Amino acid sequence: MKVIVNIQLKDGVLDPQGKAVHHALTSLKFNEVNNVRIGKQIILDVDTSDIHTAQQRVETMCEELLANTVIENYTIEFPTC
């Protein structure tokens, strides 16, 4: 089963990479961009066909390794394709 984990910094946490990209976009005259936040996406192939088991296992993976839950939020998606 394919599982997608999206991880972003929590609101209020400084995002220097996002600030650098925003500055670069402004320098290139993309002035319509007000803010940039950089995150990461992790795509997992989990060996189960039970979505509830996959949800629980991936949540545990996020809490223990994939996300720093002090400064990051995460979402888990199960694409239909």
Residue range 7-62, pLDDT digits in tens: 999 999 999 999 999 999 999 999 999 999 999 999 999 999 999 999 999 999 99
Residues with Cβ within 8 Å of residue 2, at least 6 apart in sequence: 43, 44, 45, 46, 78, 79, 81
Rounded Cα distance, 47 and 54, in Å: 8
The token pair that represents 61 in the structure block: 């993976």
At residue 24, the pLDDT reads: 98
Query: Domains, the chain, ranges and CATH?
Result: 2-77 (3.30.1280.10)
* Token pair 């390794």 in the structure block, residue: 65
What pLDDT does residue 80 have? 82
Closest to 62 (Cα-Cα) out of 29, 33, 35, 40 = 40
